[in-house]
Amino acid sequence: MRYENAIKLLGLAQRMQGSVLGLSLYDIEEQLSCSHRTAQLLMSAIKEVFPQTEEAPAFDDFKRWRIPSGTLDKLVSFTAEELVGIEAAISVLERDNLQDHVSSVRSIRDKINLSLSGKEKSKIAPDVDALLEAEGIAMRSGPRPHAEPHVLEVLRNAIKAPSKVRIKYRKRRELEIKFHTLLPYGIILGHRHYLIAWLDNPKANKFLPFSIPNIEEVEYLDEGFERDEEFSLTAYTERSFGVFQEEPFDVVWRFTPEAAVHAKEYLFHPSQTMEEEQDGSLLVKFHAGGKHEMIWHLYAWGDNVEVIAPQELADEVNPHRRTWRAFP
């Protein structure tokens, strides 16, 4: 068996052990981007190498297989890079003030450390220490989002249930406190954290973002609701440049030749395309809403970017550009 195939086979076995429902041939085709015949050959090899493979209880039209938990434990090892990646994730979560996630990832790290033998720890520790010193992530100074761990915990439990919640909410720039009963669907994490929810109101006609730092109190109502199966948090966020929703429009920005190399490093939007022009400038095109958040971002590029389309955005940005000494 070729080396690449052996790696592919082991990866498939790990997925089968980690899957409660098991994997079908269709799942293998999708995950490995292979033909049906290749999926059949891989499954035959799995059964030969791991005779513990069992057929999972059927819940749809596909036959599924899984490997009992614990079968591959002795085959799983961790590299120094993987352990440092976990430490980096903890640092980033601490930087963004996501303390509940920090606790979860630390728990994963501790469980991994407990699973390592003394010999494994002594072998990998020097590399981990060296990488941590070389790639340490400093805590960023300046503003960062604040979210009460209790609020996030209640919201996540409600989303998983799913269950309605009642919040005490204060809009930004407003002193008035309002109470809302919501059907929570998802949380968007970023420079500010938002709950995406549907108002429990007959007049409600769209999903709304609620700034989590502005949720002063939250109550889990233990009142279930039926989720809209057509809602996708990914699709919701991809409609906009940021959080605020509006009808998407065609966007074209031109970055100067001096800024082009830096702009290429950015994913401004999942739908973006980039075109380099003869003079070295860079055209970035995508389709999304979120005009005000675009303005906030474009301001940081100063006169190194020009808005080509839409005209309304160009009118609000281009006349007010300034010269900055550094790129964002």
Rounded Cα–Cα distance for residues 68 and 19 (Å):
9
Percent of the chain with pLDDT over 70: 92
- Domains of the chain, with CATH numbers? 3-74 (1.10.10.10), 80-134 (no CATH), 149-238 (2.30.30), 249-320 (3.30.70)
**Cα–Cα distance for residue pair 304/118, rounded to 1 Å:** 55
State what percent of residues in the chain have pLDDT above 90.
41
Cα(212)–Cα(120) distance, integer angstroms: 42
Q: What's the mean pLDDT when you consider all of the chain?
A: 86
Give the residue-averaged pLDDT of 182-198: 88
The mean pLDDT of 88-112, rounded to a whole number, is 82
Please state the rounded mean pLDDT for residues 268-291: 94
Sheet (strand 194-199) strand order? 208-211, 194-199, 177-188, 163-170, 215-224
Q: What mean pLDDT do residues 218-231 have? A: 93
Name the phi and psi angles at 208, rounded to 5.
-125, 150
Helix (H) or strand (E) holding 187: strand 177-188
The answer to whether the beta carbons of residues 29 and 36 sit under 8 Å apart is yes
Distances in whole angstroms, Cα of residue 312 to Cα of each of 249, 295, 308: 11, 11, 10
For residue 277, give the nearest of 263, 294, 295, 298 by alpha carbon.
263
pLDDT digits (tens, 9 = 90+) for 47-70: 988 888 999 887 777 899 999 887
pLDDT above 50 (res 221)? yes
Measured between alpha carbons, how far is 7 from 14 in angstroms, rounded to an integer? 11
